[in-house]
Chains A and B, each alone.
Chain A
Amino acid sequence: MRFMMLMIPKGYETAAPGTMPDTKAVAAMMKYNESLQKAGVLLALDGLHPPSMGARVSFSGGKPKVTDGPFAEAKEVLGGYWMIQVKSKEEAIEWASRCPGGDNEVIEIRQVQELADFPADIQEVAGKFPELQAQQRKGA
């Protein structure tokens, strides 16, 4: 089963453009990342620049509306993620618990949808898009 571990660092919602993590935090995180990789569970990971360097597009009334970050109403924002391959949600929780997270951090664990998880009629629609399937096989 694949899970995403979503890192939600409190305060990142107001971080200025160009904010960098501190060296000690990076070093501890790199050790953790290496442990995930050595255990053979790590599929992907990325860090994200703060929302002040991002944008949002909303679709109310059918028309797209663009808002540049930061986003005043946001109480939680994504700081980065890992994608892991494990046998169960419990195993994913164990791995998340080993993360050297700080007191201002929360990791949300979410199960990734596999094509086989969907009902037959949805799988059929997916079958209509050969380029996409090839892309997914490449990346998977």
Chain B
Amino acid sequence: MRVMVLIKATRDIEAGIMPDEKILTEMGSFNEELVKAGVLIGMEGLHPSAKGARVKFSGAKRTVTDGPFTEAKELIAGYWLWQVKSMNEAIEWVKRCPNPTGAEGEIEIRQVFEAEDFGAEFTPELREQEERVRVRMVAKS
């Protein structure tokens, strides 16, 4: 199963403060362990929300707001995508993570939808369509 492991932003991260070399080196070692264990599928860091925007939907109307999103209690600073056997395995890996954001760090682990998770509402036509999109998407990247 795949999980998305979300690193929650802190005030420092949102302010664009870079982590120090010690934590970066520890994170690098942790990531290499994940690669060697065949767990790491992907990972990215996100620029602070000041460089972002939000689009709100209301019928046909779209309302765009530029970041930063200071009222948002939970913003994402980055994520990993992992291939694991269970949520427990994912949790064990996260517990070993060198706290990426410092004292108040928080990481959220979420299960990723796979095609086999869906029932009949994901019709054969939709499954074929999804497969086409995924194959071409991978080919592009």
Q: How large is the interface on B (under 10, 10 to 19, 20 to 34, 35 or more residues)?
A: 35 or more
The verdict on B15 contacting chain A, using a C-beta distance below 8 Å, is no
Q: Which residue of A lies closest to B22 (CB)?
A: A125
In the bound complex, do residue A42 and residue B133 qualify as a contact, i.e. CB atoms below 8 Å apart?
yes
Interface string of A52-82 (1 = CB under 8 A from B): 0111111111101010000101111110110
Q: Which of A54, A58, A96, A128 has most chain B Cβ within 10 Å?
A: A54
A55, A60, A102, A119: the one within 8 Å of B57 (CB):
A102
Task: With both chains docked as a complex, state the minimum distance between the C-beta of A104 and any C-beta of chain B, in angstroms.
Answer: 8
**What total of A-B pairs shows CB separation below 8 Å?**
210
- A-side interface mostly: mixed
Q: How large is the interface on A (under 10, 10 to 19, 20 to 34, 35 or more residues)?
A: 35 or more
In the bound complex, do residue A89 and residue B94 qualify as a contact, i.e. CB atoms below 8 Å apart?
no
| Interface hits, A72-101 → B, CB 8 Å | 73-78, 80-81, 83, 89, 92-93, 96-97, 99, 101
In the bound complex, do residue A49 and residue B140 qualify as a contact, i.e. CB atoms below 8 Å apart?
no
Q: List residues of chain B with CB within 8 A of the CB of A46.
A: 2, 4, 81, 112-113
- B-side interface mostly: mixed
Q: Which residue of B lies closest to A129 (CB)?
A: B28
B31, B44, B113, B126: the one within 8 Å of A4 (CB):
B44
B107, B112, B126: the one within 8 Å of A48 (CB):
B112
Q: List residues of chain A with CB within 8 A of the CB of B110.
A: 48-49, 51, 53-54, 78
C-alpha gap A56/B97 in the complex (Å): 13
Give 4 closest A-B pairs by Cβ, nearest first: A101-B57, A47-B113, A113-B45, A23-B121
Given A111-B52, A132-B28, 18 more contacts at CB 8 Å?
Answer: A34-B129, A42-B137, A43-B137, A46-B112, A49-B117, A55-B87, A57-B107, A58-B105, A62-B99, A74-B73, A81-B4, A102-B57, A105-B57, A107-B55, A109-B54, A113-B78, A125-B28, A132-B31
Between-chain CB contacts (< 8 Å), 25 pairs = A20-B119, A26-B121, A27-B126, A37-B140, A43-B141, A44-B137, A45-B137, A46-B2, A51-B110, A55-B87, A59-B104, A60-B103, A60-B104, A62-B103, A73-B73, A77-B74, A89-B52, A93-B55, A103-B59, A108-B52, A113-B46, A129-B31, A131-B32, A135-B35, A135-B40
List chain A positions with a Cβ less than 8 A from chain B: 2, 4, 6, 20-23, 26-27, 30, 33-34, 37, 40, 42-49, 51, 53-62, 64, 66, 71, 73-78, 80-81, 83, 89, 92-93, 96-97, 99, 101-103, 105-113, 117-119, 121-122, 125-126, 128-129, 131-132, 134-136, 139-140
